[in-house]
């Protein structure tokens, strides 16, 4: 059996709720992503859909290592991406792409679909 390109196991991302201005005290947490697991095989495409505020963007940011997971693991080609830095992380990000929620701010309407798709390869 072939190895997955992307392995996600028990991924959790909580944002702390704090109280106080000078002496901040954590009084709770917002559960943005809670226990997500999946494998993505070579040639597969993943789409994340759901209601507003359900954690789609947070999940994508944790997968790209733009946010730090509270717990769990994300492995790209067998490597834990949370441990990658510099050129190694940049290389992984070249191979994992996300389309932001508002396509009008992230896509150029003057470019053809072919130009947009081909842009990362230039």
Token digits for 17? 């709720």
If you compute the radius of gyration of the chain from its CA atoms, what whole number of angstroms results?
17
pLDDT of residue 106: 64
Predicted confidence (pLDDT) per residue in 59-97, tens digit: 999 999 999 999 999 999 999 999 999 999 888 888 887
Q: Quick one: tokens of 80?
A: 């834990």
In sequence order, which residues have a C-beta less than 8 Å from that of residue 30 and are 6 or more positions away?
Answer: 14, 15, 17
* Domain 6-121: assigned CATH number: 3.40.50.300
User: What residues form DSSP beta bridges with 98?
Assistant: none
Burial of 102 (0-12, 13-18, 19+ CB in 10 A): exposed
Please state the pTM of the whole predicted model: 0.74
């Amino acid at each position: 059996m072939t190895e997955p390109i992307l392995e996600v196991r028990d991924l959790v991302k909580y944002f702390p709720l704090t109280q106080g201005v000078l002496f901040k005290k954590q009084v709770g947490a917002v559960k943005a992503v809670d226990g997500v697991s999946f494998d993505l095989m070579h040639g597969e495409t993943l789409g994340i859909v759901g209601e507003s505020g359900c954690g789609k963007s947070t999940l994508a940011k944790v997968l790209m290592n733009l946010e730090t997971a509270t717990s769990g693991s994300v492995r790209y080609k067998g490597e834990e991406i949370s441990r990658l830095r510099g050129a190694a992380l940049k290389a992984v990000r070249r191979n994992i792409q996300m389309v932001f929620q508002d396509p009008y701010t992230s896509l150029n309407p003057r470019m053809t679909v072919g130009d947009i798709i081909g842009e990362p390869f230039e």
